[in-house]
Each structure stands twice: as C-alpha cells, then as structure tokens.
Structure 1
Amino acid sequence: MRIPEGCFEKATVFMKSKARGLERSRFEYLFENASKESVIAQLKAYQNEDGGFGHGIEPDFWLPLSSPMATWAAGQILLEIDADANEPMVKSMVSYLVTTLNIETGMWASVLPENNDYPHAPWWHWQEGVQVNWMFNPSVELAAFLVHWSPEKSKGAEKGWTSIGKAIHRLMNQTDMDRHEINNYQQFLKIIKPYESTFSTKFKYTLDTVSEKIVALAERSIDKIISTWKNGYKALPLDFIDIPEHPLCDRLGLLVEQNLNLYVEEMSDEGIWDISWRWGSYPDEFEVARKNWQGILAINRYKQLRAFGYLE
C-alpha cells in the first residue's frame, strides 16, 4: 500500500510554509538531501550558554532555561543528523550533561521547578517528588549520549556508564513501564550497540538480554484492540516500531499494517496529522504548540511510512 497521490507533496508545502524552521530543516535533510549544517544552524536558537537546550524545543513546555528534557530533544536531532563528537554544539551539550547529573540516583531531573513559570502542558508541571513519575525518562538516553559523544576514559563517559548501570538495574526489575520510558530504553539500545563489548564487561546482563526485556515491556504496553485506537492517547505498535526488521513486527503481525493504514486514514487535507492530546490551559500558547507538533509528527510518520514502503 502507498499513501494517496499528492499527500507527500502537500505535506512538503506545509513543512516549508507553516512548520518551525527546525522541523523544516530536518525535513529537507531527511527527504531532500539538504545539509546537516542547516539543522545545526536552526538548533543554535535553542541552545543556551551552559550547553543545555530550552526555549520550547519540546513544544509542550516553554521554559527558556536549559533543562535535561529539552537537551534530550536536541540530542535526538543531533543523532538523527549523525553529528560528530567534535561539533562545538555537541561538546557544549556534553559539558552541560556532565555537570547536571545526579550521580546518586543516576538520573537527570526530568522536570524543573522553573517549568511552572512558563506556559506548559499539565504533565510538565513540577511538584515535589515528581521524578518518580518519570524515572529514567529521558536519563537512560542522556547517559547513552555521554558514552557516544565523550572520549572513552573521560569523565563524561564514566558518568554515562554510571547512570546506565542504575538504569539497567531498574529495567530488569520492572514488569511494566510507561511507553515513553520504554522508548528511551529503545533508543539507548541503538546508541550503545557499538559499545557492546564494554557493556558486557561492566554489567552482568548482555545487550541481547536487555533487548529482550525492552521488547517484552513494549509488547505488553501496546493496545491491541484496534477498535479503540482512535479513543485518546494510547500506545500503538508504531510508537515502538520504526523499521520492518524490528522484532515486534513478527510478534504483532497484522497489527503493524493496521497501524500504518490508520496513519494513512488520519492524514489531513494538508498531508499531515493532528495531535491526540490537549493542555486544558494556556489556550493561545497551546495552539502554537499544536502547530509545532504537527511538523514533528509529519517528520516522524513519513520516516516510518518510507521505511515500510508506503512512501517511495
């Protein structure tokens, strides 16, 4: 199956005329062979002097100050464009992560008190003890960033591995997990794969064992009742699957195809998708965030549709 004729072209018009500059540059990099330098140039607007990122790069909270969560959002984009460890933006980001890790817990603060001072979705509201709701989202991925972009025996790599050790302990002792934290572990696995031999010497688990655990948690969290998929914010197969070779494809069978077809069905006349959540507050700012998310969703879903042959 393919997407209807003209949909991608309409999406291209949307991305170039209505999406943020950051998403426009990503779209052009991914689908039009544009340079990664244009993405880095757009990212600069979101990076602060301390190396961390803010300024609403994650559209659901508008904190201008640096936060680990906003830095995670930027780090994912830097990975997407295969940014080098010597890239000044990356070096500065690594420095920020090294100085903000809570070495005792192995976690970075997922939500900061300062979030409350700026427009934000309710789930980004800080209160005492909120970290227990987030745990290693996004810390396990941030730790992998440190290992990936730090010299082998540096303080950055050392702190990254320390955090990873605590994250793996949590993972292997869980029977269920929030979908977003599972996503973080999935991305961690991709980033850390080239360092498999080091991982094996540091921990009692193999990466294969860790992968099996992550896949099992993902499968358990997925809503498998197709008739309910449009009802609210649910974990669907494609929230965890990005390529046909993913191990969950065999386990879920036709559910993956049904999810792809749902994406096609839910396209708007502009060839994009709307979000399935609302803030319930800050109505004007929410509409801005909603539009920004539409650009992000378009990139993510067209990447998946292309991987599965729906977009040639």
Structure 2
Amino acid sequence: MKLTTEIFEKTSRWIKRNARPLESALWSYHFEDNNADGVIKCIQAFQNEDGGFGHGIEPDFWSPHSSPMASWAAGQILRDIEAKPELNVVRKLVNYLEYTYIEEKKLWPSVMPSNNAYPHAPWWHWSENIQENWSYNPSAELAALLLHWSLGGGSTNEKGWETIKNAVAYLMEEDEMDRHEINNFQQLIKLMSKQETEFNSRINCTLKHTAEKVNSLAYKAAGKKKADWGLGYTAMPLDFVEYPEEPLSMKFGNLIDDNLDFYIEQISNEGIWDISWSWGQFENEFQIARNHWKGILAVKRYKILHAFGRLNV
C-alpha cells in the first residue's frame, strides 16, 4: 500500500495553508527544494536573546521564556536540517545549554516554573520535585547535542560527557521506560556514533551495548496490537524507527509494514492526522496547539513513509 500523489498534494496544500511557517518550511526542505534557509529563518523567531528557545515551539506549553525542553525541540529541528556548529542560531543554543546546566545534578531541568503562568498541558505543570518524573528526558539528548555541536571542547565537552555517563548508568538499571525518554536515548546513540571510540573509553558501557539496551526497551514499550495504535499515548513501532536499515526495524518485522499501512489508512481527506491526546484545560488554546501538532505529525510521518518507499510521488 502506497500513499497516492493526490493525497500527497492535498497534504502539501494543507501544510501551506494551515500549519505554522516552521512546519511549512520543513515540508519544503524535505519534499521540495532541500533549502534550509527558510527553516532557519522560522526557527530564529522562537529563539530568545539568551540563546534558548520558548514561545510555544513545543506546542503543549506556551511559555515565551527559554527552557531546556523548548531548546531540545529546536535542537531536533536543527539536527534534522543538518545545521552546522558555526551557524549563529546553533552557537547561541550551545551557549544557552552551557550556562543552564545544573552542575550538582549533571542534567538540565525538564519543566520550568514559568510554564505555570501560560497555557500548557497538565504534564508540563511545574511543581516541587517534578524532575523525578522526567529523569533524563531531555538531558540525555541535550548532552549529545552539546557534544555534537561544541567547538570549544574543555568544560563544555565535560558537561556533555558527565551527563551521558550518568544517563547511561541510569539506563542500564531500568526495566521499562517512557517512550519519549527512549527517544532521547535513541538520538543519543545516533549522535554518539561519530564519537564511538571516545564514548567507549569514557563510559562504563560500550556504545553497542548501550544501543542494544535502548532497542530492548523500545521493543518492550511499543504496542504490538494494531487496535491499540492511535489511542492516547500508546506507542507504535514507528515511534521508535525512522529508517528501514535500523536494527530495531528488523526486530519489529511485519509490525513495521502494519504500522505503515495504519498511517496510510488513518490519513484524513485533507491529507493529515489528528493527535490522540488533549489537555483537558485551556480549551481554546489547546485547539490552536492541536492544529500546530497536525503540521508536526504530517512532516514526521511523511518523512517515515518516504524512507520506507511508501510515497507514490
């Protein structure tokens, strides 16, 4: 089963009419002109003077203030377009990560008190000891991004390696994990693949063994029944796989094809997908966030469909 040219064109029109300029630029980058300039211009609108990101770049919390989590969302996009460390927006982000690092905890805070003053989903509400619920989401990935983009070495690099060492030790003790935190560790593995020798010399676990542990947790976390997919926060196999050549793709086997079929079956007449969660509060703002997420989901899922040869375009 492939997604038709007609549906692809409907999605393209919906994105350009209704999505944020950021997702529209990402759509153009991936499926039209491969030009990153438009994405960079859009993402800079979410960056503050301190180098961090806010302003609802992650649509489920609308605080304009910089936060590590919003900066993580920006970092994912910058990596997606293969942004270089010399780029101004990247250098400012690296500086922000340097000075917001909590030395005594060897991580970045996941939820900020400022969230509470603006529309947000309940899981982004700050309270005392909230960090215990988040562990290394997003710090595991932020540390890898810091190493990936750092030009200075020295103390900047050490912050990254300290966090990764602690994060991997934590990972190895876990029997199950939230899918978002698994995604953080998956991206850590991909980013560290270019620094595997140093990883193996610094961390009390090889990168290969770390990847095997992450894949094991991902396989366990994914729903194996198609009837459960698309319900709430139930994870699907394709929440953990981006390309067919990944080892985890082979481990999931036929479930990957089933999930690709599910994406195609569930697409609306407009060429998009709705989200499966709600805030239960700030209803007017949630409807705006919901629309933003539709654009994000469309770009993400089309990238996967393209990687697996499911676009008939």
Q: Is residue 103–residue 163 contact of structure 1 (8 Å, CA) maintained in 2? A: no
Label 1:229 to 1:305 Cα distance change in 2 as closer, same or farther (>3 A): same
Q: Is residue 147–residue 160 contact of structure 2 (8 Å, CA) maintained in 1? A: yes
Instruction: Establish whether residue 82 from structure 1 lines up as the match of residue 82 from structure 2.
Output: yes
User: The residue matched to 1:115 in structure 2 has which SS?
Assistant: helix
Distance 1:153 1:224 in 2: 43
Amino acid of the residue matched to residue 144 of structure 1?
A
Give the C-alpha shift of residue 118 in structure 1.
Answer: 0.1
Where relative contact order (Cα < 8 A, 6+ residues apart) is larger, the structure is 2
Give the C-alpha shift of residue 235 in structure 1.
Answer: 0.8
Instruction: Establish whether residue 263 from structure 1 lines up as the match of residue 279 from structure 2.
Output: no
Instruction: Establish whether residue 248 from structure 1 lines up as the match of residue 230 from structure 2.
Output: no
Pick which of 111-120 and 249-258 moved more: 249-258
Alignment of 1:125-204 (within 5 A): 125-151=125-151, 153-204=153-204
Amino acid of the residue matched to residue 69 of structure 2?
M
> 1:98 — aligned with what?
98
Give the C-alpha shift of residue 94 in structure 1.
Answer: 0.5
Q: Is residue 106–residue 167 contact of structure 1 (8 Å, CA) maintained in 2? A: no
User: The residue matched to 1:6 in structure 2 has which SS?
Assistant: helix
Q: Is there any run of 5+ residues in structure 2 with no aligned partner, and where?
A: none
Q: Is residue 53–residue 71 contact of structure 2 (8 Å, CA) maintained in 1? A: yes
Amino acid of the residue matched to residue 33 of structure 1?
D
| Stretches (4+) displaced over 4 A | none
Give the C-alpha shift of residue 15 in structure 1.
Answer: 1.0
Give the C-alpha shift of residue 152 in structure 1.
Answer: 5.9
Q: Is there any run of 5+ residues in structure 1 with no aligned partner, and where?
A: none
> 1:32 — aligned with what?
32
Distance 1:89 1:250 in 2: 37
Distance 1:25 1:229 in 2: 29
Distance 1:231 1:35 in 2: 35
Amino acid of the residue matched to residue 148 of structure 2?
H
Distance 2:253 2:199 in 1: 32
Amino acid of the residue matched to residue 212 of structure 2?
E
Give the C-alpha shift of residue 5 in structure 1.
Answer: 4.0
Distance 2:231 2:21 in 1: 32
Please give the per-residue CA displacement for 1:195-243, whole angstroms capped at 9, x wherever unaligned: 1111111122111000000000001111112222243320110000111
- RMSD after superposition: 1.1
> 1:66 — aligned with what?
66
Q: Is residue 244–residue 308 contact of structure 2 (8 Å, CA) maintained in 1? A: yes
Give the C-alpha shift of residue 128 in structure 1.
Answer: 0.8
> 1:214 — aligned with what?
214
> 1:13 — aligned with what?
13
Q: Is residue 11–residue 271 contact of structure 2 (8 Å, CA) maintained in 1? A: yes
Alignment of 1:225-244 (within 5 A): 225-244=225-244
TM-score, normalising length from structure 1? 0.98
Pick which of 76-85 and 225-234 moved more: 225-234
Distance 1:250 1:239 in 2: 14
Distance 1:290 1:79 in 2: 24
Please give the per-residue CA displacement for 1:270-298, whole angstroms capped at 9, x wherever unaligned: 11100000011111100100000000000
Distance 2:11 2:188 in 1: 30
Label 1:17 to 1:205 Cα distance change in 2 as closer, same or farther (>3 A): same
Label 1:37 to 1:225 Cα distance change in 2 as closer, same or farther (>3 A): same
Distance 2:79 2:233 in 1: 27
Label 1:152 to 1:201 Cα distance change in 2 as closer, same or farther (>3 A): farther
Task: State the identity as a percent.
Answer: 50
Distance 1:264 1:250 in 2: 21
Q: Is residue 25–residue 38 contact of structure 2 (8 Å, CA) maintained in 1? A: yes
Amino acid of the residue matched to residue 183 of structure 1?
N
Amino acid of the residue matched to residue 58 of structure 2?
E
